[in-house]
Amino acid sequence: MILADKVLVGLLMAVHPFFISMTDVKYNKGTQTIELSVRIFTDDFEKTLSNQCRCKVDLNQPGSKETNDKLIVNYIASHLQLVVDGKRTSLEFVGRQPEDGSTWNYFEIKNVASLNTLAVTNTLLYDYKPEQINMVHIKANGKDRTDKLEYPARVITF
């Protein structure tokens, strides 16, 4: 590959033309937990978190892990809520990991004996870009469903 091609590929990877997140919600009846994984483009997430805290955020800075984790938990908890059988739940942060220009954020909800109805409110990055699309994939009780939330849509029920 010649140098010009490498530069072009690098620029395309650095600046993505779409704004999307992916939230996977899986109900594990055996452990009575709901497991969530939230994938967000790291650059958009850093800009959003920076706007929230009015500070510079670098999610890949090892010395800032504890501070960044707090910012992530506070942001996601205020923009991603689950109501299980009519009861609002609390997300417990499990961890995060970078992958290919995005950040996976992991949460769980414990002590969910059964899951009959689920409402997911997802407004992640709506405050950053109105073009944001939030994909939500739900797997529970032998059923599988994927929905798309485009601004200003906020809630998916299952």
pLDDT digits (tens, 9 = 90+) for 110-147: 999 999 999 999 999 999 999 999 999 999 999 999 99
Measure the N-to-C terminal CA separation of the chain; round to a whole number of Å.
48
pLDDT of residue 18: 72
Domain spans, the chain = 19-157
Helix (H) or strand (E) run with residue 75 in it: helix 65-79
Q: Are 88 and 114 in contact (CB under 8 A)?
A: no
The neighbour count for residue 78, using CB atoms within 10 Å, is 12
pLDDT digits (tens, 9 = 90+) for 31-65: 999 999 999 999 999 999 999 999 999 998 888 99
Q: What is the rounded CA–CA span in Å between residue 36 and residue 152?
A: 22
Q: Does the pLDDT of residue 79 top 50, yes or no? A: yes
Q: Are 135 and 23 in contact (CB under 8 A)?
A: yes
In whole angstroms, how far apart are CA 14 and each of 21, 51, 145? 16, 20, 31
